Structure 1
Amino acid sequence: MLGEHEYRLHTEWTGNRGAGTTDYRDYDRLVTLSARGKPDLLASADKPFRGDPTRWNPEELLVAALSECHLLSYLHACVKAGVVVVGYTDDPTGLMVEDGRDGGAFTEVVLHPRVTVAAESMIDAALAAHTPAHEWCFIANSVNFPVHVQPTVTAP
């Protein structure tokens, strides 16, 4: 499975109100993201940047990508460790700081995975599996800010 993997999608700005970008307030930040065989994803800027709060924004999508990547890497790590995961949720948080020059950057993302394993005897191995999962996560390896993992593992 080694090799290069290319990802293609289509991004279309749908926020032209008729005057284009004649002024900062003259256009909507509406975007449609699409990829072959998948439902469209309606996106926008974050509300403080004149976006539509009912749509996904790029900052949320970045935090979501980090969360899902860790989850998928973690499930693989658990299989390799003989840990049976029966439930997994996460409420990740991301902190982005504006730089005062119309830009900014994320300073950190914190994942808060809550994992349920099949037996209490698996809890220690389940906690340990977060380390290789974090090391394997393609998205976490691609960002220039820390991604912290603060897991909780329980058994029924």
Structure 2
Amino acid sequence: MADKVHHYRVSVRWTGNTGEGTTGYRSFERSHDVEAEGRPVLKGSADSAFRGDPARWNPEDLLVSALSECHMLSYLALAPAAGVDVVAYTDTATAAMTTHRDGSGEFDEAVLHPVVTVAEAGMAEAARSLHEKAHEKCFIARSVNFPVRNEPEIRVAGGA
């Protein structure tokens, strides 16, 4: 199959001008809207550590969310061909980011903690090994320049 290029378009609009523009570091809010055609507006801000509104999504949370979602969707797409019947999937992803004195920074790593529940006990080992394949397929994990690890837990429906 030939390679295919997919295109994405979002608009980010700063809504945090309090009337003073950016005349000072404390003179403005970090609030903004993230918009994409046909979707609800996502209310964004900076992380509260950087004078942002903690009630809004921040870019760091969204990046960790994108890693978690991408892994899950890759995993679920691969499951049928592997004979794994997934009946539930949750993840609590974590990440560490270092900031420097000059204001720059980067993520050091992200760790996904997927809890996958499969229909039958005989699927558990295949379900565990499927995480490595899903990681290899995940577009987002393949695109970041920091390690993304998976620490999966496999459960069997009904507790068997």
TM-score after normalising by structure 2: 0.96
AA aligned opposite 2:50: F
Structure 1 CA distance for aligned equivalents of residues 49 and 92 of structure 2: 22
Runs of 4+ in 1 over 2 A off after TM superposition: none
Question: 1:48-82: per-residue Cα shift (whole Å, max 9, x none)?
Answer: 10000000000000000000000000011211201
Q: Establish whether residue 146 from structure 1 lines up as the match of residue 147 from structure 2.
A: yes
Deviation at 1:137, TM superposition (A): 0.3
Partner Cα distance (2:73, 2:48) in 1: 30
User: What is the alpha-carbon distance in structure 1 between the residues aligned to residue 30 and residue 75 of structure 2?
Assistant: 35
For 2:113 and 2:101, locate their aligned partners in 1 and report how far apart those are by CA, in whole Å: 30
Identity percentage over the alignment?
54
Structure 1: unaligned runs, 5 residues or longer: none
Aligned residues: 156
Please name the residue that 2:78 is paired with. 77
**What is the aligned partner in structure 2 of residue 36 from structure 1?**
37
Tell me, what secondary structure is at the counterpart of 1:129? helix
Say whether 1:116 aligns with 2:117.
Answer: yes
Deviations 1:92-136 (A, max 9, x none): 001000121101000000000000000000000000110110000
Q: Deviations 1:4-56 (Å, cap 9, x if unpaired)? A: 00100110000000110000000000010000000000000000100000000
User: Which runs of 5 or more structure 2 residues have no equivalent in the other structure?
Assistant: none
TM-score, length of structure 1 as denominator length: 0.98
Which residue in 2 is equivalent to 1:135?
136
- Note the aligned Cα RMSD (angstroms): 0.8
Match of 2:57 in 1: 56
